Structures are given as structure tokens and as C-alpha cells.
Amino acid sequence: MIVFNVNGKERRVEVSPDTPLLWVLREKLGLSGSKYGCGEGLCGACTVHIDGLPQRSCITPVGDVQGKRVLTIEGIPENNPVKRAWLDQEVSQCGYCQPGQIMSAVALLEKKPAPTDADIDSAMSGNLCRCGTYGRIRRAIHAASKKTVKRGGQKS
Amino acid sequence: MSATTNISRRQFMKAGALAGGGPLLACHLPFGMRDAAASGEAVFAPNAFLRIGTDESVTVIVNKSEMGQGVYTSLPMLIAEELCCDWKRVTFQSAPVAPEYNHAQFGPIMVTGGSTSVRSEWERLSLAGAAAREMLISAAAQRWKVAPSACRAENGIVHGPNGKQLSFGKLASEAAKLPVPKVPKLKSGAKKLLGKPLHRLDSPAKINGTAVFGIDVTAPGMLTAVIARPPVFGGKLKSFDAAKALASPGVKQVLAVDAGLAVVADGFWTALKGRELLEIVWDEGEGAQVSTSSMHDQYKALTATPGLVARRDGDAEGVLAKAKQRLEAEYEVPYLAHAPMEPLNCFVDLKEGSCQIRTGSQFQTVDRNAAAGVVGLKPEQVALETTFLGGGFGRRACTGSDYVIEAAQIAKVVKQPVKVIRTREDDMRAGYYRPMWFDRVSACLDEKGLPLAWHHRIVGQSIIAGTPFESAMVKDGIDDTSVEGAANTPYAIPNLQVELHSPRNPVPVLWWRSVGHSHTAFVMESFMDELAHQAGKDPYPYRRSLLAKHPRTLKVLETAAMKSGWGKPLPKGRGRGIAVHESFGSFIAQVAEVSLDKKGVVKVHRVVCAVDCGKIVNPDTIKAQMESGITFGLSAALYGQITLKNGRVEQGNFHDYQLVRMAAMPKVEVHIIDSQEPPGGVGEPGVPPIAPAVANALFAVSGVRMRSLPMTPEKIMTALKKG
């Protein structure tokens, strides 16, 4: 039995501890917003926060999150400035990578509320987008930053 | 009015019933007459594309697959403009497979491709909206006992004399009883929605994780399958031992399918672990002999022999034979994987006498019919729901329906709902690539330095040959998608010959975003640059002088040059390159600004793009598609290649098949030409010009002419050393 907290709720799952967190979220907990893209931590589509840090859930064995706090796209409130900026800047195309992009962006802004372009390059270059929405992602992060002078930290 | 818009009321009703009975995406609201009656909500369903509820809801049924290009917004805008409804009430649903939703131009199949969604549906959806508006106005006029001409519709309300008003929702039931106008009249005057950068209707679901892609589909009792696939194309199962896999926790079944050996389990991870335990002997057959390096030699040799003639103006061979000086160059581009972020997958639920497929398809009728053939049902017994597509780029319009057929084969055996998922490696190694191409071009110049003769031989596999589309799409041995963008070049070249060789080999090939143009634009626009430099001329005015009869091409070329500051000084170490290309009814020019570092890495700093795609629906979508095409094309220009050795694909995941990432993304500026020409496509045409624009810029900054894609640091360093 593995017990951990997902989006503020305690969850218990009975799976092999080597099962990647991604597939536990998607198949056992019904949280399919986190996406499978590569299975190797190369594309970032599966990005979630574990104890506040962005991690690739496709290569994180669920056994490693025992007792930890996991935040997924489903746990980001609708009024989060990053989500709002994503809508304002009309970032999404196919949309498949966007939950992972948003999770990386939220983590970046929590660490650096006013990131430079270089900060964005370094924090976001692990998230691939085949549709090429990078320019809009950059704009959206800057726009969200302006509204996020100070965030009270994640509620998870 | 076209034949496709001449739909009878009976057909409308039939479409409504089909739609109402099928699974629906996005909002899962019941609709169609029967469902509406059951829920006590009268619904106005004047045609296959539109439902208006008594609750004022306006639902547009979209017959195109949403794969990023924004059809769930642009097509509803076309209807809503003519309907005069309240845009805030508009929602979308994906259409089921039914004749009413077939492509308006491509014959009796439902398909999304060729950058045709807006241009093929413009008339049909505009008329559908106009017909509904006229019926709502007639219903109000009847109620008020006035002439319809005394009424008008605006923002979801019909206004009559003396300030009378009725909302569409209140009129829906009465409007539903009226005959559908045969020749509805389109609005005149200013557009309310078209031309405005409206927000996408599908964005909220895509950023909160609720958008359902094929890989997200689930059902009670669903199993998940992965397939062990042969290591080479055309390989077959010889023998296998599944004992260890079957003993692995969660594994339910192991079964042979055409694609290989399927492991069916209670989840993706358990299936994958089971697959690792399979012991398989493959019969590799001839596939093991295939390698891209020997193919390269074969293709190169073929360019020395005459091919089938795709275009002949004047006497290019004769003029070149007599020329004092001729330029000759060889260009090559590799196989490319589409690599959509969502790997291919397909859900099938096969029951007695019925079958439900849920997947991200661009090729619904073909996929449905293929599945019906596998499971032994009539096509009408098979329902296919189009989910959101996590990228398509042509891969999900597969002439072989590969990922649907394998799922249907598994479903037929397991008799439970089942979803087949490909790992990234499965997806990348399973073929259906953009073909590898090898081109030889020769030219000579006249006394003014302009091209006098141009001889071009193209070698590469036909996408269409060997598919059911061959008889319709290959003419006199020439697959037009192999020569498009070259055989129809707009440049004024008095002696022009384009020839084609279409060798066959076991590597499956397919349309890849911008199809033939993805390769021909690179050759045409790079070699044109070479000619300009040979003539000692600036490549921008050089092109201008050859495009006098093509005002739209000329206009985008001039716009991109002007907006980029062409001719003005750049910071040290930067160079500019320009390219222009027409494809899918649209005209695009791009100027790239690049630098080259000491290790041979090209950095693209800025891309200025001018686009004339005719009259427009949503300018922000056009900009987004240009940004998208440029990024997609840049990944191919700088990194993309699929190579085979001993039949094995050498790439498998994003470490060895790299894509542009955030840090490599240039600033992109898009300028849309104000145009009233017929609408063109926008999904694909942004791709072709970027590779030559970057290659030309690289030449400008370094003197290195890259005739081979991708432009890797190794190739560039080798070229620099050669000097």
C-alpha cells in the first residue's frame, strides 16, 4: 500500500512500487491531465510537482512518493495567474503538452516571481511542444509574472 | 451553390439522428430530435452542422479533427457569422462518421488534411448558418404576423417591428417545423466575427487537463495493450514463448496480430513489463537489408538517369548542353517522423453486432471501414468518435490505418474494451515517414544573370503508390505530391524540366505536414539563392525579377523583406536569408536571421513571416499556425532525421530525434496580407520556407551552403574545413 497526497487529498494505491507515478495518476486515480509523451523524462508532458518541485512523473516510481505531496494540473485553481495568462495569450494548439508546460511555469514563478528570458529558457527547455507554442508560452509567463508579485505558495 | 450544400431535410434529420445516437465529444449534451424529446428540450436541428436549444445554446458539429489548428473555433465562426447568434453561446462537438460529414471536395470520405478545413467548409457552413437564420426569422415573422423582410437577426435575437424581440431559444421549436430554405441568402455588409482574433473555444479544456485525447479514453473493464513489433519493416513473427510474460502480474493475454505480438494487461505499465518478458524469434525477411546509406547511393545513381517528366517548358536539356557555364548541385533530405506529442493509440469496444472506436483520427471513414473489415461488421455498425488529437501532422491520416487495425485485431480476440498504446519508441520506429529525397539540379544563366534553363531530377518514394488512392492520385506514373512545389514553380524560367524517379522500398511513407513542399521548397529556394549569388545579385531583388506575373507571391516576398529590414545592417556575426513558397492555396515568405557559433551550431534569432492566405476567419489562428509551421520546419531543418541500418530505425525518442526547445525558439513575427482572394490553407504552408530561409541565412553569414538536411554541426564543421 502506497499512501501519498494528491492535490490536497490523501490517496492509497495498491500497485507495484516501481510503477511510474504517471500511470498511477492516469489509470488508478483518474487524473489524466498529466500526459505520456516519452517515458524517459525527455519531453515534460508528464510534469507534476512533488513536494513543491517540478518532476517528471513518467520516470518517478510511485514508491518514491510515499508520504509526499503531489500536485497535478487538476490541482491548479482556475484563477491561477498562469492558467489565466495561458488563456489570454491563446497559447494552446493541440494542447497535449500544455498541462506539463503549465506545471513547469507555475514552479518557475514560485521560485522566481519575475523570471528573465534566460530563466524561462532554462526552466522551460525540458518541456517539448511539437506545435511550436514556445513564443506564446514565454509571453504568458511574463504576463503571469506581472500578476504574481507575490504568491502564497501552492495549496496542496 | 455547390452540390454539397444542397442537402435535403430528410438528410438533415438523418444526420441529426446519427449524431444524437453517437458518442459525442466535449460537452456530452444530448442532442438530435429523439434525445431532445426525451429531455423535454425542443431542439432546432436545421442541418447536420447546427443545433439550437431552447436554452439558447448553439452547438456546432465540427466534421474536422482538432489537432491544434483551431477548427473547433474557426468552423463555428463560419456558421455563427451567418447565423447571427450570440458567440458566447456557441459550443462545439465532434461529428460522428456519416456521409453528411464527408469532405466537401475530396470525395466520399471524412478526412482532415491538405490544409483544407476552412477553405473546403467555408461555403457549406456559411450557407448552413444562413439557412438557420432565415428559418428563425420566418418563425418570428409568423408569430408576429409580419413579413420576414421586416425582421432581422442579431446576437441571438430576432428583432421585428415596433421593438418586438424573440430569442433564438424561444423560436427554436417553431423554426424546427419550417422548411429549410433551398437557396439561403448570405449576409451583406461588415462581418461581426470573421476577421476578429476570437479566443479559441477549446482552450479552457486544454489547460485544465479535462480535454480528452485518445490516450485518455477509458471505459469500465478496459484493458490496455502494447505490441512487440518486428525490428525491421516487413518482419514477421516466427516463433515466441509468452510463458514469462503471462506469469507477470496484470498480464491477461498474449496474442499474435499482423503488427507483431500483443500483450494485453490491466494497465499500461503491466503490459509494458509483460512485453519485456516475451521471447520472440522474428523472420526479418528482406527488411533487414534496408539501410538509408545504401538507399542514398541508389538514389544518387538514379539522378544520372532520365526520369518521368513532370514538367517541360522549352528545352532545358538542349540549352544546358550548349551552356558555357552551368551550375549543378545535389540536395538531400532524410526520412522524418511526425512525432506528435501524443503517441499513437486507439480504443476499441467490440460488442455483438456493434463496435465503438475512440481515437484521434484524421481519416475517419478509412479507419472505420478498415476496422469494420477486421471485426467482420458492416461499416455502419462501427461508430468512430474523434477525440482531441495530440498533434496530427498527417500521421493520423494513415493510408494503412495501422494503429486502428491493430487495435481492432486485438479487440476481436479479447472481447473486452481495449486500448492499444504505442510507446514513443514504438511510435517513432513504426514508419509512415516523410520520404527521404535526393535531388539533382542544373541551371545556366542568361546574359542578365537570370535563369535561362533549369533541369531538376527528383528521386524519392511515392506516398500514394501502393495505396487505394493510387488510381485516383497518380497520373501517368507521377505522384503529384512528389513534385509539387517544383513542377509548378512560379519563377519565370524559359527552359524548365522537372523529372521524377519513384523507387519502391519497404519503408512506409506518408504525408508529413506540407507533404512534397517540405522538400521541394528547400531545393527550389536554396538553389535559387545559389543562382543569385552566382549572378552576383542580392537574392531578394533577384527573386522579384522572376515573379512579375505572380502578384501574390511577390507581395509576400516584398512584405517579408521590408518588415525584416532587408538590406539594413545586422549585428556582427548575423546573416539574413529569404525564401518564398506557395502551397495549399496560400503564399508565404520568410526571412530568417541567424548566427553560427564556433562549434557549428546554427542559432536562429528571428523569423519574419508574411502570409497571404486569402480572406480570413481568425487572424490569431493564422499567426499561431505560422509560428507552428516555422517551429515544425525548424526542427526538421536543424535536427530531424530518421536513419536505418540493417533495417533498424536508429532513432527512438527525443534524445536522438530532437525537436526545437524553448531556448532555440526564435522570435517570430507574422504579417498577414489584407486579401479578399479565396481562402487558402494555414496548417501546412508555414513549414516549407523556413529550411531554405535558414540555409540561405547560414550561407550569408558563413559562406557555407548546406544542401543536406538537417544542418547538423558536424556537416557544417566539415564544410567549413573544406572552405
Backbone angles phi, psi at B196, to 5 degrees: -100, 145
| Residues B230 and B311 occupy one common structural domain | no
| Residues B513 and B657 occupy one common structural domain | yes
| Residues B306 and B361 occupy one common structural domain | no
B427, part of any domain: no
Chain B interface includes A116 (CB < 8 A): no
Torsion sign (Cα): B558, B564, B565, B568: negative
Ordered domains of chain A (ranges, CATH): 2-75 (3.10.20.30), 81-147 (1.10.150.120)
| Residues B533 and B651 occupy one common structural domain | yes
B183, part of any domain: yes
- Compute the nearest-CA separation of A154 from chain B (Å): 16
pLDDT single digits (tens) B591-650: 999 999 999 999 999 999 999 999 999 999 999 999 999 999 999 999 999 999 999 999
pLDDT single digits (tens) B542-552: 999 999 999 99
B52, part of any domain: yes
Nearest-CA neighbor of B605 among B579, B628, B577?
B577
**Which of B662, B668, B682 would best serve as a mutation to test chain A binding (most A beta carbons within 10 A)?**
B662
Chain B interface includes A37 (CB < 8 A): yes
**Spatial CB neighbours of B211, under 8 Å, sequence gap ≥ 6:** A95, B202, B205, B388
B649, part of any domain: yes
- Compute the nearest-CA separation of A35 from chain B (Å): 8
**Which of B66, B206, B222 would best serve as a mutation to test chain A binding (most A beta carbons within 10 A)?**
B206
Asked if B631's CB is within 8 angstroms of A132's CB, the reply is yes
- Compute the nearest-CA separation of A110 from chain B (Å): 19
- Is residue B335 over pLDDT 80? yes
| Residues B113 and B174 occupy one common structural domain | yes
- Predicted confidence at residue A149, as pLDDT, reads 54
- Predicted confidence at residue B4, as pLDDT, reads 29
Distance CA B367, CA B379 (A): 10
| Residues B262 and B308 occupy one common structural domain | no
Domain boundary among B421, B452, B476: B421
Nearest-CA neighbor of B338 among B684, B691, B715, B722?
B684
| Residues B380 and B515 occupy one common structural domain | no
Asked if A122's CB is within 8 angstroms of B209's CB, the reply is no
Q: How confident is the model at residue B708 (pLDDT cuts 50, 70, 90)?
A: very high
B66, part of any domain: yes
| Residues B438 and B399 occupy one common structural domain | no
Domain boundary among B207, B230, B249: B207
Q: How confident is the model at residue B723 (pLDDT cuts 50, 70, 90)?
A: confident
- Predicted confidence at residue B41, as pLDDT, reads 66
Q: Which helix (H) or strand (E) holds B527?
A: helix B517-534
Give contacts of A87 with chain B, Cβ < 8 Å: 199, 203-204, 207
B86, part of any domain: yes
Average pLDDT value for residue range B411-427: 97
pLDDT single digits (tens) B450-509: 999 999 999 999 999 999 889 989 999 999 999 999 999 999 999 999 999 999 999 999
Distance CA B62, CA A30 (A): 28
Assign B107 to helix, strand or coil: coil
Q: How confident is the model at residue B265 (pLDDT cuts 50, 70, 90)?
A: very high
pLDDT single digits (tens) B270-319: 999 999 999 999 999 999 999 999 999 999 999 999 999 999 999 999 99
Domain boundary among B182, B207, B232: B207
B628, part of any domain: yes
In B615-674, the residues whose Cβ lies within 8 Å of chain A are: 620, 624, 627-632, 653-655, 659-663, 665, 667-668
Distance CA B652, CA B423 (A): 10
Q: What is the domain-level CATH number for residue B100? A: 3.30.365.10
B111 residue type, one letter? V
Q: Compute CA distances B412 → A124, B31, B134, B369, B384, whole Å.
A: 43, 31, 48, 15, 16
- Is residue B346 over pLDDT 50? yes
Chain centroid to Cα A141, Å, comes to 14
| Residues B601 and B718 occupy one common structural domain | yes
Pairing of strands B58-62, B90-94: parallel
B428, part of any domain: no
- Compute the nearest-CA separation of A15 from chain B (Å): 10
| Residues B548 and B580 occupy one common structural domain | yes
Chain A interface includes B213 (CB < 8 A): yes
Asked if A23's CB is within 8 angstroms of B653's CB, the reply is no
pLDDT single digits (tens) B547-566: 999 999 999 999 999 999 99
Distance CA B96, CA B93 (A): 9
Q: What is the ipTM of this complex?
A: 0.96
Give contacts of B390 with chain A, Cβ < 8 Å: 35, 94-97
Number of domains within chain B: 3
Distance CA B11, CA B22 (A): 16
Nearest-CA neighbor of B26 among B75, B91, B79, B77?
B91
- Compute the nearest-CA separation of B376 from chain A (Å): 31
Asked if B207's CB is within 8 angstroms of A95's CB, the reply is yes
In B400-429, the residues whose Cβ lies within 8 Å of chain A are: 421, 423-424
Question: Closest-CA residue in chain A for B657?
Answer: A42
Chain A interface includes B22 (CB < 8 A): no
| Residues B257 and B184 occupy one common structural domain | no
Chain A interface includes B219 (CB < 8 A): no
| Residues B101 and B178 occupy one common structural domain | yes
Mean pLDDT of chain B: 94
Q: What percent of chain B has pLDDT over 90?
A: 93
Q: How confident is the model at residue B34 (pLDDT cuts 50, 70, 90)?
A: very low
Pairing of strands B602-612, B586-596: antiparallel
Distance CA A45, CA A49 (A): 13
* Residue ranges of chain A whose pLDDT lies below 70: 149-156
Asked if B216's CB is within 8 angstroms of A38's CB, the reply is no
pLDDT single digits (tens) B178-196: 999 999 999 999 999 999 9
Q: How confident is the model at residue B410 (pLDDT cuts 50, 70, 90)?
A: very high
* Domain membership of residue B551 as a residue range: 293-335+433-722
B296 residue type, one letter? H
In A120-139, the residues whose Cβ lies within 8 Å of chain B are: 120-122, 124-138
Asked if B268's CB is within 8 angstroms of A27's CB, the reply is yes
Residue with cell 508528464: A46
